[in-house]
Amino acid sequence: MSKLILASASPRRLELLAQIGIVPDQVAPADIDETPAADESPRRLALRLAEEKARAVAKSNGGAFVLAADTVVACGTRALGKASDEREARKFLTLLSGRRHRVYGGVCLIAPDGTERSRVIETQVKFRTLGTEDLDRYLSHDEWKGKAGAYAIQGHAATFIKAISGSYSNVVGLSLCEVDGLLRGLGYPVKEV
């Protein structure tokens, strides 16, 4: 049986996979440039980054299944990456306050024979209006660090969410429905839960 490599350093992605009984044999984060290309849409960015991560790890791991993902939070046509500091996190959250935004999850799976399949999953999220006190309280924790759009839906920011349309697990970091389908479709032996 071929091994499964997760091309991600995200502990959330490991936890999500474990929820459906999948434990990668190896975790090998890809070191790629994640800078958006000029005029690249957030949707395209999520897909490109997932594909580049999978290809980078597959190059040195022939004969394995390689799964990679990337999450991009978009407000309009603007991609909100991981905030570099608290000031930028406040700016992102203020921008999302009282608005609907999209979370794009790019997923790419490369099979041992080199077959590649990728998808983009779109989830819409609506934030309630956030006041200064909400922002101060949230930013006093380090939960925003390392998160696209400066928030974690599965944490304290859950109180900001007024509505969601689409995959919840996509917003956390990996659409389990799509991943399960990709793995089964390319022949990875997914255990029945």
3-class SS string, 76-108: CCEEECECCCHHHHHHHHHHHCCCEEEEEEEEE
Active-site residue, 70 included: yes
Q: Are strands 78-80 and 116-127 parallel, antiparallel or unpaired?
A: unpaired
The predicted structure's pLDDT at residue 182:
97
CB 175 within 8 A of CB 183: no
Reply yes or no on whether the pLDDT at 59 is more than 90: yes
Query: Looking at residue 157, what DSSP letter applies?
Result: G
* pLDDT for res 2: 87
Confidence check: pLDDT of 17 > 70: yes
Q: Tell me, which fold does domain 2-184 have in CATH? A: Maf protein (3.90.950)
The fraction of the chain above a pLDDT of 70, given in percent, is 98
Rounded Cα distance, 90 and 7, in Å: 30
Q: In this predicted structure, what is the pLDDT of residue 186?
A: 95
pLDDT band at 193; cut points 50, 70, 90: low
| Mean confidence (pLDDT) of the chain | 95
Provide the sign of the torsion angle of the four alpha carbons 35, 37, 39, 41, taken in this order: negative
Tens-place pLDDT, residues 128-171: 999 999 999 999 989 999 999 999 999 999 999 999 999 999 99
pLDDT in tens, 76-117: 999 998 999 999 999 999 999 999 999 999 999 999 999 999
What CA–CA distance (Å, rounded) separates 165 from 173? Answer: 15
What is the reported pLDDT for 27?
96
What the block records as the tokens of 64 is: 């394995």
Which candidate in 70, 85, 134, 136 is catalytic? 70
Alpha carbon distance 157, 93 (integer Å) = 10
- How far apart (Å, rounded) are the C-alpha atoms in residues 74 and 49? 15
